[in-house]
Structure 1
Amino acid sequence: MNFQGFDEHKYNDRSLLAFLGQQESQNIAWGDAYTTELLDYFRDGQVLTGAKLPWSKTHDLIRFRPGEVTVHSGMNGHRKSMVCGQIMEWFALWGEPCGIMSFEMPIRDTQKRMCQQAAGSYHPGPGFIRDWSQWNHQNLAYFDKLDTVPSGRVLGAVYFMAEAMGCKHILIDSLTKCGLPYGERGAEKEFIDALCATAKAFQIHIHLICHVRKPEKRGEEYVPGKFDVRGAGELTDLVHNVIIHWADKKKLALQQLRKANKPLSPQDMDYIEKRPDQRFVVAKQRNGEFEGVIGLAFGEGLQFNEGRQLPFEIPRSGGQAA
């Protein structure tokens, strides 16, 4: 029931309140009903469940469970869509089909990048490309629509991907393309509420890419936080997790200078050797204890890894990755 148009006289009606109370009675119990669960929690602590990220060092830090919504955010050019694409195909590789709704990039371009990441090569061979494309069947679904899409159609596509196609994770890229009136905080809040309700109803995990506000008097070196996410203030309050994606542009510039045989100071060389290429910042995790920075390497074929190429084992017809 929608309480936005709250009518105090209507809700002073005891018979109506009794009816509403009866509808919710199955969700209400005395606290002793949870004794076993409480004892288990004290004994075992919080047990992480849910889908694992591609990187083993994250498996005890954060997971992505059914019924939740995660916001992925970051500045333009900081690879948030690229990271999320790799995450989706690894979820699918490990048995959880994913739906991808990219309103800013044609499916062909999205698939090209993800195929490169899977191969760990900028130039995968024709055999690998064919095998990877065939593997997409019943693993990766795509919504073929560019530019702004009305929010109702977005929710309809989420429903179809979850209910008809069995997708367990759905990536929406991005909130700004979901047909919401610019600056309408109420509309954004309602849409996020709808995503949270949909994730819970269908026991899926929805990943929503959002932009950040342009930092005032700050450049690429600034690492945004959850309060920098563009949109209604309630946006990050309503979702379960907030991830900030940040690429070290200073390191990239230094690497390019080194590649061009330009002289670098010892401090610059030390910066290159010790700093991660990419930061995966867990800015909020409602059902987990960890919040902090996870460093990633940016390797061959646009693949994010922990310093060595990640394998992507799919049925092969004999073609090589590169």
Structure 2
Amino acid sequence: MSNIITLNDLDLDKYKDASVVDKLRPAHTFSPDLKDRLYGKKQFEGVSLPWQKMDGILLKTKQLSIWGGSNFSGKSSVLAQVANHIALQVPVLKMSFEMEPGETLEKMCKMAAGCKPSQEFIDYYLQQLNDKLWLLDHVGSLDHERVMGAAYVASNILGIKHIVIDSFMRLDIAPTDYDKQKIVINNLVWLAGALDVHIHLIAHFKKPADSRNTGDRHQVSGSSAITDLAHNCFLVWKNEEKAKKICSGDEYNDDEPDTVITLDKYRSDGTKVNQWGLWFDPVSGQFCETSERRNIHWQGAVRFEDWIEGA
């Protein structure tokens, strides 16, 4: 019996429902897209992160990013600052199932102002965002299909380009149901591509063996598919030892960052693992570039003194 299979041997009819045959194309038909990626606009596509030290890291549409970390590592707060920054570039939908919208906006507006904002600044902040920031008014677990439905509406009707889901454990999936977790992640990857959006998904770490270890993507709790299928993986680590010294009034070394963000996977160009230290400012809630804790001004220099409460 011959091991050679010809097209005549294939029953193509059974594949037509999946439109596989229609999607087979010769390489030369992708020439415009290839040149655009290497020399055109596509090489610069994507939105930036708030920190200058992370210049060059771009969040592109049609991608899923995992933001992992231990409980109370600050991953939700870091992503809130990221969302504030992205909303100045493209429309954002934030779905936080652990925090009411008012509480989310309180944190984000405070970050934007650099401290407790005046009522005038609150009006300015909301006016600047206008239709650029949307929130899902729901607290508690929600079936992943309804979450995907909200994302579909947000993209097609509201023009949303970045979607934040906080968090994976709130998508009504059992912690040990790895098969369903893989299905949901596959669906989110597909959704990002189909809607031409970027999806940010917060995921929790397994209990860390050593709080001094910043960890890697394999510490994300649940199925390995969560990070295997994602395009990018950011990890947020909190310097617990330093935080305890600050709380107890003990001497500490402020040259050590309060938070470390690890980029453990970056699909766009295969960048190797990289890390950046950040310093937390308790007044604004911002994560700053250096130990001087100079706040990153939102929408340019927005800290007008007469807008700041108590100035």
The reply to whether TM is greater than 0.5 is yes
| 8 Å contact from structure 2 (residues 15, 21) kept in 1 | no
Identity of aligned residues (%): 26
For the residue of structure 1 that corresponds to 2:297, the secondary structure is coil
The alignment status of 1:118 with 2:112, answered yes or no, reads: yes
CA distance in 1, matches of 2:33, 2:163: 34
Work out the CA distance in 2 between the residues paired with 1:239 and 1:197.
11
Query: How far apart in 2 are the matches of 1:40 and 1:200?
Result: 17
Distance 1:313 1:38 in 2: 34
User: In the alignment, what sits opposite 1:51?
Assistant: 47
Q: How many residues align?
A: 293
Are positions 1:28 and 2:25 aligned together? yes
Q: How much does 1:15 deviate?
A: 3.7
For 1:79 and 1:220, locate their aligned partners in 2 and report how far apart those are by CA, in whole Å: 14
Over 3 Å counting, the alpha-carbon distance change for 1:85 and 1:27 in structure 2 is farther
TM superposition shift of 1:133: 2.6
Cα drift, residue 208 of structure 1: 0.4
| Equivalent residue number for residue 72 of structure 1 | 67
Q: Which digits, 9 at most, give the CA deviation of each residue in 1:15-58, with x for residues without a partner?
A: 425646974444431469659947985x99x9453110011121
Contact 1:247 1:277 in 2 (8 A): yes
1:280 and 1:105 mapped to 2: Cα distance? Answer: 23
In the aligned structure 2, how far is the partner of 1:292 from the partner of 1:27? 37
- 2:5 aligned residue: none
Which residue of the other structure, out of 71, 78, 83, is the alignment partner of 1:88?
83
Provide the secondary structure at the position in 1 that maps to 2:284.
Answer: helix
Closer/same/farther in 2, CA of residues 153 and 36 from structure 1, 3 Å limit: closer
Question: Which residue does 1:101 correspond to in 2?
Answer: 95
d(CA) in 1 for partners of 2:160, 2:175:
30
- Counterpart in 2 of 1:311? 297
What is the RMSD computed on CA atoms of the aligned residues?
A: 2.8
**CA 1:137 to 1:315, structure 2 compared with 1: closer, same or farther past 3 Å?**
farther
Aligned to 1:191: 184
Shift of 1:315: 11
Is this contact kept in 1: 2:259–2:277, CA < 8 A? yes
Q: Structure 1 stretch 192-201 or stretch 304-313: which is displaced more?
A: 304-313
Assess if the C-alpha contact under 8 Å between 1:242 and 1:285 holds in 2: yes
The corresponding residue for 2:255 is: 274
Match of residue 170, structure 2, among 167, 177, 198: 177
Q: Which amino acid in the other structure matches residue 106 of structure 2? A: K
Going from structure 1 to structure 2, the CA distance change for 1:90 and 1:32 (only over 3 Å counts) comes to: closer
Amino acid at match of 1:59: D
Residues 285-322 of structure 1 show CA distances to partners (whole Å, capped at 9, x for unaligned) of: 11132421111121231011213211112898x86134
Q: 1:77 to 1:28 in 2, by over 3 A?
A: same
Partner Cα distance (2:263, 2:212) in 1: 18
Contact (CA 8 Å) 2:74, 2:238: kept in 1 or not? yes
- d(CA) in 1 for partners of 2:300 and 2:140? 32
Instruction: Give the deviation of 1:153 after TM superposition.
Output: 0.7
Kindly report which structure 2 residues correspond to 1:129-148, keeping only aligned pairs within 5 A, or say none.
129-148=122-141
Aligned partner of 1:221 in structure 2 is 212
CA contact under 8 A between 2:204 and 2:220: conserved in structure 1?
Answer: yes
Q: 1:251 to 1:187 in 2, by over 3 A?
A: same
Q: In structure 2, which of residues 152, 164, 170 is the aligned counterpart of residue 159 of structure 1?
A: 152
Q: Deviations over 1:46-80 (max 9, x none)?
A: 945311001112112x2100000000010001100
Is the CA contact 1:135–1:315 (under 8 Å) kept in the aligned structure 2? no
Deviation at 1:278, TM superposition (A): 1.0
Select between 154-163 and 290-299 the one with higher mean Cα deviation. 290-299
2:307 is matched by which residue type in structure 1?
Q
Q: Tell me: CA distance 1:39–1:167, structure 2 relative to 1, closer, same or farther (3 Å).
A: closer
Offset of 1:247 from its aligned partner? 1.2
**Structure-2 separation of matches of 1:33 and 1:167:** 28
Structure 2 counterpart of 1:50, one-letter code: G
Contact 1:132 1:314 in 2 (8 A): no
Separation in 1, partners of 2:36, 2:172: 47
Q: Identify the range of structure 1 (307-316 vs 107-116) with the bigger mean alpha-carbon deviation.
A: 307-316
Partner in structure 1 of residue 3 of structure 2 = none
Structure 1: 5+ residue runs without aligned partners? 1-11
Cα distance change of structure 1 residues 34 and 213 upon mapping to structure 2, 3 Å threshold: same
Q: Residues 29 and 157 (structure 1 numbering): CA distance in 2 closer, same or farther, change over 3 Å?
A: same
CA offset at residue 223 of structure 1?
1.7
Change (3 A) 1:35 1:118: closer
